[in-house]
Structure 1
Amino acid sequence: MLLRLRVSLPDRPGGLGQVAKALGALGADILQVTVLEREAGRAVDDFTVSWPGPVTAAEARERLSAMPGVRVEGVWATKEVPGSAPDYDLLMHVAAEPARGFATLVDALPALCGAEWSVAVADGAVRHASLAAPAEFELPESPPRAICVDAKEVRLMLLPVLTAGLHVVVARAEGPVFHRAEVERAARIVDVVSKLAARAS
């Protein structure tokens, strides 16, 4: 089973190695590590691991939380393939068919962001929706810049596309609130797609 784990740990030599050793002792095979943040003596890292057998997010959290100084911020199932470059694949598809740019973006964002669904909303209506997305969606606010919102039972990333009069929304039901590094990455991808899509209009 593939899991993604977000872990906050002391930012000191050997800290990452201790977490890796503990994961190995629990039977997890680390496939990828992404450093999201290093501030105020702590680091926040995302681990993509292969865990043998069925392991619930609660079980994984309980096992890891026993490590001194370590806080588990989220554990959730993932389908991402470590080492792949889905963001480049997305941009290649959009470059090939810029007129479908936003539809392609919305379809790809859940996998890119470790989320469940995505929509593009304009004038109060859903213009494009990924699989599992609701048919209707009301923006909780219309931010002028990319932000994340912890709404009822779902975490939202709101990505405005001011040039197209759209807001792209990404929703994660499992796992933690979107980290600012995730928001910044998604905002850059949205910017590139909007520029490519504008050439087709």
Structure 2
Amino acid sequence: MLLRLRVSLPDRPGGLGQVAKALGTLGADILQVTVLERETGRAVDDFVVSWPGAVSAEEVRDRMSAVPGVRVEGVWPTRDVPGSAPDYDLLMHVATEPSRGIATLVDALPALCGAEWSLAVADGAVLHASLAAPEVFELSEPPLRAATRASEGLRLMLLPVVAQGLHVVVARAAGPGFHRAELERAARIVDVVTTLASRT
């Protein structure tokens, strides 16, 4: 079972090693680590792990919280394939067929962002939706800049595409809210894709 864990831990020598040791003791195989933040004496890291058998988020949280100084901020299933480069694949698809840029972007973002679905919306109408996305989505007070928001049990990323007068929405139902590092990465991907798509 592939899981993503978001862990806050003391930012000191050996802190990451303690978490890795605890995960190994529990039988988890660490496939990837992404450092999201290092501030005020703490680090926030995302781990993609292969966990033997089925395990609930609560079990993982309970086991990892026993490590001194560690806070588990989220545990959720992931489709990440460590070692792959889905962002590069996305850009290649858009460069090959720029007229489908926004649709390709919307289809790719859930996997890129550890989310369940995404869609593009303009003037109250859904223009394109990934699998599992709702057919109708109301975006009240669309932001002028990339932003995060919580709504009806969902954690949302709202990514404006000013040149096309639309917003791309990415939704995560399980796991924590989107970290600012995730938001900044997604906003950059949207900027690159819309630049490529505008060259048709």
How big is the shift at 1:140?
3.3
Partner Cα separation in structure 1 for residue 105 and residue 129 of structure 2: 10
Which one is further off, 140-149 or 71-80?
Answer: 140-149
SS at match of 2:66: coil
Alignment of 1:40-59 (within 5 A): 40-59=40-59
Which one is further off, 140-149 or 164-173?
Answer: 140-149
SS at match of 1:192: helix
Partner Cα separation in structure 1 for residue 165 and residue 181 of structure 2: 24
Which one is further off, 191-200 or 106-115?
Answer: 191-200
How big is the shift at 1:199?
1.1
SS at match of 2:198: helix
Aligned equivalent of 1:166: 166
Partner Cα separation in structure 2 for residue 72 and residue 24 of structure 1: 16
Aligned equivalent of 2:156: 156
Aligned equivalent of 1:107: 107
Aligned equivalent of 1:29: 29
Aligned equivalent of 2:181: 181
- Identify unmatched segments of 5+ residues in structure 2: none
Aligned equivalent of 2:6: 6
Partner Cα separation in structure 2 for residue 162 and residue 53 of structure 1: 45
Q: How many residues align?
A: 200
Which one is further off, 124-133 or 52-61?
Answer: 52-61
Q: Deviations over 1:135-154 (max 9, x none)?
A: 00011321111011122211
Cα RMSD between the aligned structures?
A: 0.6
What one-letter code is carried by the residue in structure 2 that aligns with 1:68? P
How big is the shift at 1:116?
0.2
How big is the shift at 1:59?
1.0
Aligned equivalent of 1:67: 67
Aligned equivalent of 1:133: 133
Aligned equivalent of 1:190: 190
Q: TM-score, normalised by structure 1?
A: 0.98
- Aligned-pair identity in percent equals 80
Partner Cα separation in structure 2 for residue 115 and residue 101 of structure 1: 20
SS at match of 1:199: coil
Which one is further off, 144-153 or 28-37?
Answer: 144-153
Partner Cα separation in structure 2 for residue 176 and residue 139 of structure 1: 21
- Give runs of ≥4 in structure 1 deviating > 6 Å: none
Which one is further off, 2-11 or 133-142?
Answer: 133-142
Q: TM-score, normalised by structure 2?
A: 0.99
Aligned equivalent of 1:80: 80
